[in-house]
Amino acid sequence: MPLRQIPDRYRPLAWLLGVWLLVNTATRVVLLVAAGSGVPAGAGNWARVFGIGLGYDLLTFVYFAWPLVLLLWLLPHRWFSARLGRWSLLALGWLLVAIALFVAVSEWTFWEEFQTRFNFIAVDYLVYTTEVIGNIRESYPVPAILSVLFVATTVLCWLGRRWLLPRAGVADTHFLRRTLVTVCWLAVSVLGTWLVTGDMKDRSDNAYVNELSGNGMYQFFAAYRSAGLDYDRFYRSEPIHEAFVGLRPLLKTPDARFVNDDPSDITRTITAHRPRRRLNVVLISVESLSAGYSGTYGSKLGLTPELDKLSAQSLVFGDLYATGTRTVRGLEALSLSVPPTPGESIVKRPHNENLFSLASVFNREGYVSEFLYGGYGAFDNMNYFFAHNGYLVKDREAIADGTIHAENVWGVADEDLYTMAMGEFDRVHRSGKPFFAHIMTTSNHRPYTFPKGRVDMPQGQRNSAVAYTDWAIGDFIRRASGKSWFKDTVFVITADHCASSGGIAALPTFRYRIPLWIYSPAHIPAGRVERRLSQIDIPPTILGLLGISYTSRFYGQDLFALEPGRERAFIGNYQQLGYLKGDRLVQLGPKRSVEEVRPAFTNDQPQPPIPIEPDLVDQAVRYYQTASYRFTHGLMGDLPGQQRAER
C-alpha cells in the first residue's frame, strides 16, 4: 500500500515503524563497526546480519508497538482529531521513541562491556538496580546522554508531526475495522511467540554475526524466558542411572574411594598424599582478572609487576579456565566445586542452603571460615549464600567509613578490603584457631576508580584498574608479612572470571583463561604447572597441598593426585555448556544440540567444528546432567554432622 493510502488512523503507527527501523538499523551498523574484524567483510555476512536482523526488528516492533495499537483502537472518533487525542498520540509517540533510543544507547554500553547484545546478564542486572544504576552514573556522563536523548526524541517527533498527528477533515477508520486490525495484530504476536525463538538466528559459526542478526530488546526478553533452563528438558541426556554409573570412573582418582555402591552418591573419602599441615588459607578471587593481563602469562603491558614478582616464589598454574563469565559462577566453582549448571548460578537459586562446600571441610578441621567482600553482599545473593553454607560473612557494612580511601557503587578500594581482612585474621589468630578466608575484590570493575597516588595511570580505564588491583595485592602481602600468622598462611590468588566474555565463537576458549598463584614460601615450593586445571579443581587441590584427608562431594579433583592425561575443564555461559579436553571442546546447547569444535586457546578466531567423538560427548553429558540433577533433587547437601561457621 502506498504511504499516502495508509488510513489516517494508522499513520502514527507507520511513522513509529519507520523510526524503529531507522534506530535499530543504525544500532546494528554501530555494533558491526565495533565488532571490527570479528565479522569478516563480505556480502554473505552482511546479508545475514541485516536480513535476519530486519526480521527480528519487525517481530519485536509487533510487541513494542502494542501501547500505540491499543490507543489507536480505543480512542473514540470524537477525540481522535480533538486536542485530547492529539496530545495523547504525541505523548505516547514521544515516550516510545525515547525508549527506543534509550535501548539503543544501552545496547552500545552493554556491547562495550560484554561484546554481545542483551542476554541473561542484562536480565540479571535489573534485579539490582542500585548497583547497576550507580555503576552507570559513575561510568558515563548520564546527564549529557539523557539531554541528547531528549533532544533527539523531540526532533524526531517534530519532524514526524505530520504523520504522528491526525489531519483535519480526513475520514476516520470505523471501530469494527480497527478491531479487525487489533485482532490481526494479536494473531501475529501470538504466532511470533509460538513460531520464533531467539536462537533461530544462530546459524553462523561466527558468534558476532549471530548476535548482530538479532534484536537487543527481543534478546532481552528471550533471555528472561530462558533464565530457569531445566537440563533434562533442554539438553542432551541419558537415563539418570546410566549417567551416574558413567560418572563414577570420571570422578575416581588414586586418592579417592567411594563410600558405598549407590551410583547417585558421589561421596568419596580422600586420602591425602602429603603430610598434614595446619596452615591458614587466604583465597583471593580478583574481579575480572584475565590471565592475559599478567606478565607471568605473557603480557607485555606491564600492568602486574607485583604479581609477577610473586611468581618467583609461587606455585603458578599456566592452563587454568574459569567456569563462566559472571562473578557468581566463579564463587560457585570456588566454594562448591561443581560444573556450571544451565540458567542461573546456584549462588542465586532457591534452596541453596546447607550445601557441601569448601568451608564444610575447613570447618570440620577446626578452622574459622569467612567470606569477605568489599561491596554490599546483598548483590547477587552473595551474603545469603555464603552465610548459609558454612561461612562467616563480612561485607562493606563491616568497614568503618573513616578507614576508606576510595569507593564506588561496587564497593571500597581493594586496599581497604584487605585492611578489614587483616583485622579479621588477627582476631581469629588470637583465638588460637586457623582461618580460611575467601576474599572477593571489586576495584577491577567499571567505573574503574581507585585511590589517587597508587599507580600513575588515569582513572576510569580498565588497564588502570588492573594496575591498581595488582598494587593493592602487593601492598597486602607487604603489610601481611609483618603479622605473626603470615609465615603459616597460604595465599591463593586467582580470578572470578575473565575481563571479557564475547568473541567470534559461541564459547571463545581463550576468554576463559585465568591466572592462579599459590604463594607460601615457607611451605609450598615455587614452580610452574602447565597441566590443565578447571576452576572447580582449585578447592580440592588446595586441600591436597595442605595434606588434609576428608570426605568429599566435590566434582573437582586434586590436580596432583590426578593421573596425567585425565585433565579437563568446564566453561560455559548461561545456555552453552562446554567440556574442554585435550584439543577438543564439546558444546552442549538447548534443544539437545551437541557440537565438537577445535578450541582457540590464544586469540579471537573461529573454532571450526570437527567430527564428534561420542565418548567425549558422553563424559560432558554425565558431568553436567548429574550436577544439575543433584542440585535440583537435594543431593548436594552437607555431610551429616558437619560443623558450621564459628563466629
| Interval 71-100: pLDDT, tens | 989 888 777 777 777 788 889 999 999 999
In a domain, 637, yes or no: no
Q: Are residues 153 and 285 in the same domain?
A: no
CA distances from 517 to 228, 296, 318, 444, 476 (A): 35, 10, 9, 18, 15
Q: Is the pLDDT of residue 646 over 60?
A: no
CA-wise closest residue to 73 among 188, 187, 176: 176
CA distances from 634 to 65, 533, 626 (A): 44, 27, 12
Tens of pLDDT, residues 629-640? 999 999 999 998
Averaged pLDDT score across all residues of the chain: 90
Residues 113 and 132: beta-carbon distance below 8 Å = no
**Higher pLDDT, residue 508 or 36:** 508
Q: Are residues 205 and 295 in the same domain?
A: no
Residue at a domain's end among 225, 253, 280? 225
Q: Is the pLDDT of residue 317 over 90?
A: yes
Other CB atoms within 10 A of residue 66 CB: 14
pLDDT at 120: 63
In a domain, 470, yes or no: yes
Between vectors from CA 553 to CA 550 and to CA 554, what angle results, nearest 5°?
95
pLDDT at 128: 56
Q: Are residues 33 and 115 in the same domain?
A: yes
In a domain, 552, yes or no: yes
pLDDT at 122: 63
Q: What average pLDDT does the segment 548-566 reach? A: 97
Instruction: Tell me whether residue 646 is exposed, middle or buried, using C-beta atoms within 10 angstroms of its C-beta: 0 to 12, 13 to 18, 19 or more.
Output: middle
In a domain, 639, yes or no: no
In a domain, 647, yes or no: no
pLDDT at 645: 52
In a domain, 646, yes or no: no
Q: What average pLDDT does the segment 457-468 reach? A: 96
Q: Are residues 505 and 545 in the same domain?
A: yes
Percent of the chain residues past pLDDT 70, beyond the cut: 93
Q: Are residues 402 and 543 in the same domain?
A: yes
Question: Pairing state of beta strands 435-440 and 280-286?
Answer: parallel
* pTM for the structure as a whole: 0.83
Give the separation between CA 274 and CA 72, rounded to whole angstroms.
77
Q: Are residues 136 and 263 in the same domain?
A: no
Tens of pLDDT, residues 111-121? 877 677 776 66
- Position of cell 602481602? 477
Query: Of the given ranges (128-132, 237-241, 561-565, 617-621), which has the lowest mean pLDDT?
Result: 128-132
Q: What average pLDDT does the segment 133-148 reach? A: 79
Side chain identity at 101, as an amino acid letter? L
pLDDT confidence of 583, banded at 50, 70, 90? very high
Helix (H, G, I), strand (E, B) or coil at 67: helix
Q: Are residues 104 and 180 in the same domain?
A: yes
Domain that holds residue 152: 3-225
Q: Are residues 257 and 139 in the same domain?
A: no
Any residues with CB less than 8 A from the CB of 522 and at least 6 apart, and which? Answer: 487, 488
Percent of the chain residues past pLDDT 90, beyond the cut: 69
pLDDT at 457: 96
pLDDT confidence of 137, banded at 50, 70, 90? confident
- Position of cell 478491531? 179
CA-wise closest residue to 170 among 93, 71, 81: 81
Question: Pairing state of beta strands 513-514 and 489-495?
Answer: unpaired
Give the separation between CA 9 and CA 223, rounded to whole angstroms.
35
pLDDT at 4: 55
pLDDT confidence of 44, banded at 50, 70, 90? confident
Q: How many domains is the chain built from?
A: 2
Instruction: Tell me whether residue 425 is exposed, middle or buried, using C-beta atoms within 10 angstroms of its C-beta: 0 to 12, 13 to 18, 19 or more.
Output: buried
For 367-410, what is the HEC assignment? CEEEEEECCCCCHHHHHHHHHCCCCEEECHHHCCHHHCCCEECC
Q: Are residues 83 and 127 in the same domain?
A: yes
pLDDT at 127: 55
pLDDT at 141: 84
Q: Are residues 241 and 165 in the same domain?
A: no
Residues in the chain: 647
Q: What average pLDDT does the segment 112-141 reach? A: 67
Give the separation between CA 577 and CA 621, rounded to whole angstroms.
9
Q: Is the pLDDT of residue 42 over 80?
A: no
Q: What average pLDDT does the segment 458-471 reach? A: 96
Residue at a domain's end among 199, 225, 251? 225
Residues 165 and 86: beta-carbon distance below 8 Å = yes
pLDDT confidence of 340, banded at 50, 70, 90? very high
Residue at a domain's end among 183, 206, 225? 225
Q: Are residues 467 and 346 in the same domain?
A: yes
In a domain, 642, yes or no: no
Query: Of the given ranges (210-224, 360-374, 427-441, 587-601), which has the lowest mean pLDDT?
Result: 210-224
Q: Is the peptide bond before 447 cis (omega within 30 degrees of 0)?
A: yes
Q: What average pLDDT does the segment 216-225 reach? A: 79
CATH number of 393's domain: 3.40.720.10
Q: Are residues 269 and 345 in the same domain?
A: yes
Tens of pLDDT, residues 282-314? 999 999 999 999 999 999 999 999 999 999 999
Give the separation between CA 385 and CA 394, rounded to whole angstroms.
13
Side chain identity at 157, as an amino acid letter? C
In a domain, 645, yes or no: no
